[in-house]
Amino acid sequence: MDKDVVLKQLDDVEQKIEKLIELSKSLESKNAELENKIVQLEQELQNRVEAERSYTEEKSLVRSKIDDLLIKLNGF
């Protein structure tokens, strides 16, 4: 009887370990997906920051040209 109980417990432990291994692999896969998503989002953010910087520079340049034109018109 003792042997049967021990074997049953070993089988239970083995099944639990197999489930943990499967869960671990699943979580590792999900983690890799999330890391890739982070890289993608960081790149998108960088692109948007650069686009905003470019827009701000362009806006500043246009404003400067308008100011110059207004000064010329006032002098005319």
Which amino acid, residue 27? L
Q: Say yes or no to pLDDT of 8 above 80.
A: yes
The predicted pLDDT at position 18 comes to: 98
Q: Which domain holds residue 27?
A: 1-76
Rounded (5°) CA angle 49-57-53: 5
* Backbone angles phi and psi of 11, in degrees to 5: -60, -45
Look at the chain and report how many structural domains it folds into: 1
| pTM given for the model | 0.66
Q: Say yes or no to pLDDT of 3 above 90.
A: no
Say which DSSP state 71 is in. H
The predicted pLDDT at position 1 comes to: 65
pLDDT, tens only, 23-76: 999 999 999 999 999 999 999 999 999 999 999 999 999 999 999 999 988 887
